[in-house]
Chains A and B, each alone.
Chain A
């Protein structure tokens, strides 16, 4: 803006890089900070909680079956007399890590495969899309179920890989179609003619442009992974007894939930908290990455003048739709 509002006198005219700006913008978003805090608390609880609690998740308290929360057992016990807090914390450890990893990995794979396929086109596109279609056609649940006994000893990391391997395809296709339109945009061409290499263009320009899609997808994937994992665990694959995850705790206790509601509320509450925290963080990231988002703009009124003006011009431009596009649409 020529309305060069004097920004607060800066010590140095040092330029902020994109990453720093993004972090600053993220930090301005209250809800995102709340989400981040909840996430941190959940992690702390999951790993420190068991140290504080006097019961181990494997210990059966034969004096207290289905005991309500309070006193000795903070969150009550289940039918087998296991301490629910200890169980939930143990489950949380697994589910948090699995959920987040699967969410992030599958979205990354989806983004990379979709964007590379569309950006390079030709054979790369064809082969990658064959793989996508193949994986889409295969009944993934069955496949994971069939394969997981083979990996039983290998632990939960393999499980993460399996879960992510089967959950990225639809997003991958969406990313591909978005990339197809983005790659003809002038800023991508400009980068190309500057000599920027393909992979750099993809990660610097194309993927950030669809950040909102990717972030929302991650949030959904995290929830889906926790649930999906519990589904598999229910059938005896994935997390195996006596080890537990949030999913197994919830599914184990579903039948008893009407009579002993705490058996459901506590683990399910943790699951909901994960979901909410992830989506708050996601929203914050999206706003931080998207310069148009109002949430991440500087709150201080004085700095804002410049920005509001910019916003207002944009707005009046929008109202002037026909006129503005006029000049843009003129014959080329």
Chain B
């Protein structure tokens, strides 16, 4: 980190009470800002009218500073950065001013911008796969980036690109430089992107959701690399993300965007510890936190962001704001420092917040549903709903078009045993590619000819006939990750909800009565049954998915990442709904997720999966308080907390490398080649890890880990 990252210093700013434009934080005024954006407006023409995607964004970043821009999807954060880079389509109307070192960028021709992009401004995009050209080697692409802007010979450029790859932590860069993008893992591709972004010593790096597509452990690595890149180049970073946790640990200053406008800006500490805009307060209250020890209901922000075509008069947040007054619906507030506040907000009532209004109390906290009788019974006394014993799913790897030869085995799921009791939520977590989804689908397929057994409600799936299977399907249902893909876009939602009922032979009258009941159950208007899924927002669609899953009154619901496609403010509502339904209807959940904070919030027990195996399983409390498998520890420590101070104090356990391919599982303990503990062991102990596959060992009453040297460690 550079010296400018001490925002907790007392401010000696000479700010006026008036709105600041651009919103600058004068305390960091060690030098002139490198990038200064003021009053940026972007509008797109569309069938429905003008889409005003960005409506007056202003910021300035100085060398070595990190500015975080947070907002939900559709808030205009990406569009504003595209406008800075001059990458918007011609049809977009961009006004305002973007100054790089005092030079106006808006209005420059594409040719002139090309000389700046990649040289003075480096870019890191969200999806590293589509940002790299698949037909050229990574080295060629870095060389190209270098030679466009610098006068280097081929040999020099190649040497430099190897240096760059080394800098961003690509192992064996000399060999890797000639690899193609598809030979790189997601994390490595993003590193290569960072290498390209810093190739020409840029003054500003714009990172648009650089870690969103990555797993937490990889995210931690990439953020580390980005920080290192900043140290080396001394560049300013504009970091755009929806993840409040990432910003907390990484940025110096934050700007919160809503409906195309910044609504609150300030140092991370100010914004996180004393938010003064209801939207920010709501956002911070709606995220489940990894360090929550007590079970609490999340506070969702009701409603949806407004349409950017017909923005309502007044404050765009007024419709969702719990403390909106008449004035909010009339006059749109400007971003300015209000009386008694330390940082600028765009809210008419922010001067009251923290004074007469308690920021923590403005959102009505939904009640935590009282635990039902079922949930209060001890675990041992409850019936087992689902039991897996040594569940295995191997896919053969074949070669050859005509005659298929078997060349290997992908061990997607390699012997999983777990059980779920009535009224219980089991969270299954792990990185992408560890076999979570395969496990789910394998359970739902009610397989016949596999190794290991799946026992549902006490019945072994292997001994079931067709009719049994169909009956069983009634009792277990699934909710998928992407609510758009999971609902047939060509059916009105009434028909979608009726489908499971029809399939299981309900008659017409009962279906007609059940559909509105279901819609009400998940908090939707029963009159909307003849609308199509497209007419609903993401969160509402997910509610429809949940309603469909509950149609037949199942006992077990399998949830495959049910909230990961939703914005945080919406996610909170869906999580609360799931919680409430579970208690009310006595459901059991198998909840698959990669977001550990969500899992902590909802699960009673947790199973951590790594490369087709469960490495640690136990009740939520023990997993989070005393994680004992080194992988669990690393996973937990990689999750960023939306708490700047704690985030700064934390030391992360960084894993090296990526998840190995399930086609090539290491001998002995499958985690050993990334294991931080393995390195600290002596020769004999290491030998044991190499040769002996650790079996799951009981550590406490309901806690076991598959590690030879399992030892609890506090990491949160």
Instruction: Please give the residue numbers on chain A whose beta carbons come within 8 Å of chain B beta carbons, in ascending order.
Output: 1-4, 7, 10, 13-18, 21, 185-187, 189-191, 193-196, 200, 204-205, 208-209, 211, 289-292, 294, 306-317, 319-320, 322-332
25 contacts between A and B (CB under 8 A): A13-B516, A14-B512, A15-B492, A15-B512, A17-B495, A18-B492, A21-B530, A186-B480, A190-B478, A190-B480, A191-B488, A195-B474, A196-B500, A291-B489, A294-B47, A307-B535, A309-B307, A312-B48, A312-B310, A323-B77, A323-B78, A323-B242, A325-B127, A327-B212, A330-B212
Inter-subunit contact B525/A4 (CB<8 Å): yes
CA distance A211 to B561 in the complex (A): 30
The smallest beta-carbon distance between B91 and chain A, in angstroms, is 11
| Chain A residues near B530 (CB-CB < 8 A) | 15-16, 21
A94 vs B707: C-alpha distance in the bound complex, in angstroms?
79
Chain B, residue nearest A306 (CB): B535
Q: Which of A13, A312, A326 contacts B308 (CB 8 A)?
A: A312
Beyond A190-B480, A319-B79, A320-B78, is A195–B504 a contact (Cβ under 8 Å)? yes
A residues in contact with B474, CB < 8 Å: 195
Contacts of A289 in B (CB 8 A): 490
Interface size class of B (residues with CB under 8 A): 35 or more
B535 near A327 with CB under 8 A, answer no
A316 touches B51 (CB 8 A): yes
The complex places the Cα of A193 from the Cα of B442 at a distance, in Å, of: 11
Please pick, from A189, A195, A204, the residue contacting B473 in the complex, using a CB distance under 8 A: A195
Interfacial chain B residues near A323, Cβ < 8 Å:
73-75, 77-78, 209, 242
Chain A min CB distance to B54 (Å):
10
- Cβ-defined contact, A209 with B74, below 8 A: no
Q: Which of B321-329, B355-363, B564-572, B628-636 contacts A (4 or more CB under 8 A)?
A: B564-572
B-side contacts of A314, CB under 8 Å: 534
Question: Nearest 4 A-B pairs (CB), nearest first?
Answer: A195-B473, A291-B532, A186-B486, A312-B307
Take A312-B48, A313-B74, A329-B212 as given contacts and tell me if A187 and B485 are in contact as well, using a CB distance cutoff of 8 Å. Answer: yes
Known: A291-B532, A322-B125. 14 other contacts (CB 8 A): A7-B527, A15-B516, A16-B529, A189-B478, A193-B477, A193-B478, A195-B469, A195-B470, A196-B499, A312-B310, A320-B53, A323-B78, A323-B209, A332-B432
Q: Is the CB of B303 within 8 A of A2?
A: yes
> Whose C-beta in chain A lies nearest to the C-beta of B493?
A15
Interface residue ranges of B636-689 to A (CB < 8 Å): none
How close is A238's CB to chain B, nearest CB, in angstroms?
38
Please pick, from B53, B477, B478, B489, the residue contacting A319 in the complex, using a CB distance under 8 A. Answer: B53
- A211 contacts across to B, CB distance below 8 A: 490
Q: Is the CB of A291 within 8 A of B503?
A: no
Q: If the complex has contacts A314-B534, A332-B561, are A319 and B44 also in contact, measured as CB distance less than 8 A?
A: yes
Interface residues of B (CB under 8 A from A): 44, 46-49, 51, 53, 73-79, 125-127, 208-209, 212-215, 242, 302-304, 307-310, 431-432, 436-437, 441, 444, 469-470, 473-474, 476-478, 480-482, 485-492, 494-495, 499-500, 503-504, 512, 515-516, 525-538, 540, 545, 548, 552, 560-561, 564-567, 594
Min CB gap B514→A, angstroms: 11
Establish whether residues B78 and A187, one from each chain, have CB atoms under 8 Å apart when the complex forms: no
Contact among B492, B499, B512, B527 with A191 in the assembled complex (CB-CB below 8 Å): B499
Q: Identify whether the interface residues of A are mostly helix, strand, loop, or mixed.
A: helix
For the complex, what is the distance from the CA of A236 to the CA of B545, rounded to whole Å?
Answer: 59
Report the separation of the CA atoms of residues A3 and B312 in the bound assembly, to the nearest whole angstrom: 12
CB distance B242 to A193 under 8 Å? no
Contact of A329 among B127, B310, B480 (CB under 8 A): B127
Of chain B, the residue at the smallest CB distance from A191 is B499
Min CB gap B124→A, angstroms: 12
A312: chain B residues at CB < 8 Å are: 46, 48-49, 51, 307-310
B603 → chain A closest CB, angstroms: 17
In the complex, which residues of chain B have a beta carbon less than 8 angstroms from the beta carbon of A309? 307, 310
Given contacts A320-B74, A322-B208, contact A15 B529 (CB under 8 A): yes
Residues of A within 8 A of B74 (CB): 313, 316-317, 320, 323-324
Interface centre among A196, A200, A289, A331 (most CB of B within 10 A): A331
Contact, CB under 8 Å: A331 / B51: no
Residue of A whose beta carbon sits closest to that of B432: A331
Residue of A nearest to B302 (CB): A2
Contact between A316 and B485 (Cβ–Cβ < 8 Å)? no
Nearest B residue to A329, CB-CB: B213
Q: Which of B209, B473, B478, B537 contacts A326 (CB 8 A)?
A: B209
Q: Which of B486, B490, B500 contacts A290 (CB 8 A)?
A: B490
State the CA gap A292–B484 with chains docked (Å).
13
Are A315 and B487 in contact (CB-based, < 8 A)?
no
Instruction: Please indicate the chain B residues that have their CB under 8 angstroms from the CB of A204 in the complex.
Output: 499
- Pairwise interchain contact B567-A327, C-beta atoms closer than 8 A: yes
Q: Do residues A313 and B537 form an inter-chain contact, with CB atoms below 8 A?
A: yes
Q: Using known A-B contacts A186-B482, A292-B534, A317-B74, determine if residue A13 contacts B527 with beta carbons closer than 8 Å.
A: yes
Which among A4, A292, A314, A332 has the greatest number of chain B C-beta atoms within 10 A? A332
Q: Is the CB of A292 within 8 A of B489?
A: yes
A315 CB to closest chain B CB (Å) equals: 5
With A319-B53, A326-B209 as known contacts, state yes or no: A21 contacts B307, CB within 8 Å.
no
- Residues of A within 8 Å of B527, CB to CB, are 7, 10, 13
Whether B564 pairs with A330 at a CB distance below 8 angstroms is yes
Chain B residues with CB below 8 A from A319, complex form = 44, 46, 51, 53, 79
Provide the residues of chain A in CB contact with B490, threshold 8 Å: 208-209, 211, 289-291
* Residues in chain B near residue A200, CB distance under 8 A: 503
* Chain B residues, Cβ within 8 Å of A21: 492, 530
What are the residues of chain A within 8 A of B437 when measuring CB–CB?
332
Q: Chain A residues near B504: list those with CB within 8 A.
A: 195
Given contacts A190-B486, A331-B215, contact A316 B309 (CB under 8 A): yes
- With a 10 A CB-CB cut-off, give which of B76, B500, B525, B535 has the most chain A CB atoms: B535
* Cβ–Cβ contact A316 & B53, under 8 A: yes
**Chain A residue at minimum C-beta to C-beta distance from B566:** A327
